[in-house]
Amino acid sequence: MIRDYKQTDIDEIVRIYTLEYKAMPEEIEVLKSASKILVYEENDIIQGFSHMGINGGSCYLEMGAASNELIMPVGLLLWDEMKKVFSEKSINFIKTFHVKDNLEWQQFFNRIGFEYWNSVYRLSYEGLKFDEPDICVVKYEDKHYEDKIRLESEAFAVLREQNEIQPYNWYLSASKEALEDNRKRTYENREYIYLFFEGNEMIGASMVKNAEIDLLFVNIK
Taken in order of first residue, the domains within the chain and their CATH numbers are 2-111 (3.40.630.30), 136-218 (no CATH)
| Ramachandran category for residue 190: left, alpha or beta (phi over 0 → left; psi -120 to 50 → alpha) | alpha
pLDDT at 22: 81
Give the helix/strand (H/E) hosting 26: helix 25-32
Distance CA 52, CA 36 (A): 6
Band (33; pLDDT cuts 50, 70, 90): confident
Nearest to 111 by CA among 85, 79, 84: 79
Q: Are 55 and 92 in contact (CB under 8 A)?
A: no
Average confidence (pLDDT) over 43-49: 95
Q: What is the pLDDT of residues 92-116, one digit of tens each?
A: 999 998 887 889 999 999 999 999 8
pLDDT at 24: 80
Q: What is the pTM of this model?
A: 0.65
Query: Is residue 206 classed as helix, strand or coil in its secondary structure?
Result: strand
Question: 208 φ, ψ to 5°?
Answer: -115, 115
| Ramachandran category for residue 44: left, alpha or beta (phi over 0 → left; psi -120 to 50 → alpha) | left
Instruction: Return the exposure string of 176-195: e unless at least 16 CB atoms fall within 10 Å of the residue's CB, then b.
Output: eeeeeeeeeebeeeeebbeb
Band (20; pLDDT cuts 50, 70, 90): confident
Residue 128 pLDDT more than 90?
yes
Q: What is the pLDDT of residues 165-220, one digit of tens each?
A: 999 999 999 999 999 999 999 999 999 999 999 989 999 999 998 878 899 999 99
